[in-house]
Amino acid sequence: QVQLVQSGGGLVQPGGSLRLSCAVSGLTTDFYSIGWFRQAPEKARKWFSCIRASDNKTKYEDFVKGRFTLSRDDAKNTVYLQMNSLKPDDTAKYYCAAETGRCSVLANNYHYWGQGTQVTVSS
């Protein structure tokens, strides 16, 4: 059974930082790309980043470039999302998801999903 378990969300002030974790069981993360999506209130779920299978190359949407960083810990089978310089517009529920492709931006290509974790950026 494949499971993606997320942690690390919470409330942070603008300009602050959070690190989200996506712990994967039932598969080896090196064989799967791990994509990240977020969904703000009353908005559609939106892709914003991915770490690619095998070579760990990363992709970022423009609005998070320079602020968010993905990394992979193979020993723990966990992907981390370091979020710095957080803005109120970053407030959303954050999801990690796994696919066998090379970092698709399409949610339908991801077959395994974490439960999501809320990130709220507010003074």
- Residue 43 is predicted with a pLDDT of 94
Residue 41 per-residue DSSP state: T
- At residue 82, the 3 state secondary structure works out as strand
Distances (CA, A) of 97 to 15, 36, 58, 108: 26, 6, 14, 10
**pLDDT, mean of residues 44-51:** 96
Q: How many residues does the chain have?
A: 123
- To which H or E segment does residue 6 belong? strand 3-7
- Residue 29 is predicted with a pLDDT of 66
**pLDDT single digits (tens) 81-119:** 999 999 999 999 999 999 988 899 999 999 999 999 999
Q: CB-based contacts of 26: which residues, under 8 Å, 6+ apart?
A: 1, 2, 3
The answer to whether 86 and 15 have CB atoms below 8 angstroms apart is: yes
Q: How many Å apart are CA 109 and CA 99, to the nearest integer?
A: 6
Q: Is pLDDT above 70 for 31?
A: yes
The tokens describing 71, both together, are 């990394």
- To which H or E segment does residue 12 belong? strand 10-12
Q: Which amino acid is at 9?
A: G
